[in-house]
Structure 1
C-alpha cells in the first residue's frame, strides 16, 4: 500500500504546515486484521496537544472521505511522537538541548544523559559521571527519555 502513502504524504505535509505542525511519520498497514492509516504529527514549538490531534484527524478524515483515496475500510489514527520520542538527526539534537536522551552508537556504546550541545560536527552529552562527545554520524539510534 505504498502508493497510498505516496499520494497522501504531500497532502498531509501541506495540511500540517498550514496548521503550524509537521509530519513526523505516516504508515498504512494491516494490524490485527484491519487496515490502519497512522499519522504521527509534531509541533516544533512544543508538544502536540490532544486538540491538535483531533483537528488533524477531522481535517484529514474529511479529505479522505471527499476524495475516496482508500478503496476499503480502514482506521485513521493521529498521534504525537510521545515524550520518549525517537530523535532523527542533528535538527532534533539541537532542538532538544538540555533534555535527557539515550544514544546507541555504531561502535556498541550506549550513552544516556542531558544533551549539553549539538552541532553538525559533535554532540556533547553530560552523563551522571562525565561529559561525552561524539559525532552525529556515530549515532545508530537515539530517543528522548522521560524525566520525572
Structure 2
C-alpha cells in the first residue's frame, strides 16, 4: 500500500501506505468578511454525548463513538503532548474515507499552516501504526475555524454570548433543531437562550451536533489584532 502526503491540499508523492494528508489552515476573519473563505467540512454526529474526559485542569476531550473514538483515543495523547487540543475527529465516505482532525492550540495563539503540518506528520505516524482503516484513505488536518463546532464544555463557555445552532438526537419540547445565544455548559448540560427569549437546558448527551453561527459579532471577537510596527 502507499501513503500520499499532500502539503496544503495538493497531492504528494506515493509512500508506503495509501493515505493522503490534506493540510487546511483556519480561514482568517478578513476572508470571511470578503466572502472568499475556504471552510473545512464541519458536519458530524453524535460527538457530544457523555462521558467527557477532563485531563488535569485544562484539557477536555470531546466524546466520539466507534471508529472515530478509536482514532481520537490513539492521537489525542500525541497532539496534547505537542501543545494542541483535539476538537473533533470525523470520518466520512466509504470507498476512500476522509479522516478529518480539528485541533486548537492550547496557548490560544492563532492556528497556522505550520501547526497543521506538525499535527499531520505526527497523527499520520500514529495512525500508520494503529492502522484503524484498511485500504486507501485521506487525512485532513485543520483548525476549527470561526464558526466552529461546539464539542466541549470549554467551547460553550468560551463563546457564551454568541449565536449557536444545535441539532438534537431526540426532540426536546417538540423541537429537534434549535438556534439561540450560547449561555455556557458544564459536563452534563449546555444552556441556550432561544430566539424567543426563553432559556433551555439541553443534555449534552442529546446533542447530535452544535456549532457557532457566523455573525459580525463573532468575526469581530475572533479577529486577530493587527501588530503595530
Q: Same fold (TM over 0.5)?
A: yes
1:17-32 matches, cutoff 5 A: 17-28=80-91, 30-31=93-94
Q: What residue number does 1:57 align with?
A: 120
Distance 1:80 1:12 in 2: 15
**1:7-34 Cα shifts (integer Å, max 9, x gaps):** x433310111112222223244545x42
Name the TM-score, length of structure 2 as normaliser: 0.47
**1:27-84 Cα shifts (integer Å, max 9, x gaps):** 44545x423332222345366433221210122224445x373653332211233322
- Is structure 2 residue 201 aligned with structure 1 residue 135? yes
CA pair 122-81 structure 1, distance change in 2 beyond 3 A? closer
Q: Secondary structure at the match of 1:134?
A: strand
**1:88-146 Cα shifts (integer Å, max 9, x gaps):** 3644321211222224572217654443x33557735375xx64311132874532011
Name the TM-score, length of structure 1 as normaliser: 0.66
1:58-137 matches, cutoff 5 A: 58-65=121-128, 67=129, 69=131, 72-88=135-151, 90-103=153-166, 106-107=172-173, 108=175, 112-115=179-182, 117-120=183-186, 123=191, 125=193, 127=195, 131-137=197-203
**Structure 1 residue ranges without an equivalent (≥5):** none
CA pair 89-133 structure 1, distance change in 2 beyond 3 A? farther
Q: Secondary structure at the match of 1:75?
A: strand
RMSD: 3.6
Structure scoring higher RCO (CA < 8 A, sep ≥ 6) equals 2
Q: What residue number does 1:13 align with?
A: 76
